[in-house]
Amino acid sequence: MAIQEVLERQYPGRRAQLKRDILSAALACFNDKGLEPTTIEDIRVRCDTSVGNIYHHFGNKDGLIAALYFCALDDQARQRTDYVKGTASAEARVAALVHAYLDWVTAEPELARFQFQARSAVAQGPNAAELADRNRQRNRQVREWLADPEQLGQLASVPMELLPSLIIGQAESYCRAWLSGRVQSPPDRFSEPLARAAWASIAACR
């Protein structure tokens, strides 16, 4: 399973195997039953461990949801950084960000599906402050990546908090449709046109 590779990057080593097992089971339960209906007992049965182990590692269901959500964010951030390396212009970096996002969703559909359903729960839950801080860090990094000396004057007029939506908004819309089964072609098939659309959206706001 691709999710195992993501979890191993986030929680490496043999000693973290139980954490990975719990998170993998939780992901399957959340996607099968939904966030609210899923209970700690459902997760316990699926990963064949004790309730005490789950609470020891993650505190409660909110902690499990947040751990999975932040795991997805961290893995996406790793892929964004890898894709941006070696690009030489703001336009190329926008394309790299779109490609990174679409490739990640295509490779990790179960984690992406969970991420969409869990976003509001994390934003309104006990880990809201951490999520807000991570979003600010991401936005600052995106602005730094797009600080091409030849184009900075034009990009400076685009509000920083708007940039992620301009870059990923159309790609995210397609990904939601794919994950829900409304469209059949995987997101990475349309990387090029969606990257061009993202740059055109930014250009329209300059």
Neighbours of 133 (CB within 10 A): 10
Q: Which two tokens stand for residue 78?
A: 């790793």
Q: Pick from 46-50, 134-138, 139-143, 187-191 the range whose average pLDDT is largest.
A: 187-191
pTM: 0.91
Please return the burial class of 139, using the count of CB atoms within 10 Å of its CB with bins 0-12, 13-18 and 19+.
Answer: middle
Q: Domain coordinates of the chain in residue numbers?
A: 2-205
Give the span between the Cα atoms of 15 and 75, in whole angstroms: 20
Q: Provide the pLDDT for residue 42.
A: 96
Give the span between the Cα atoms of 129 and 3, in whole angstroms: 26
**pLDDT band (50, 70, 90) for residue 151:** low
- Segment 138-167 shows an average pLDDT of 75
Domain 2-205 classified CATH 1.10.357.10? yes
pLDDT exceeds cutoff 60 at 110: yes
Q: Pick from 1-5, 73-77, 143-147 the range whose average pLDDT is largest.
A: 73-77
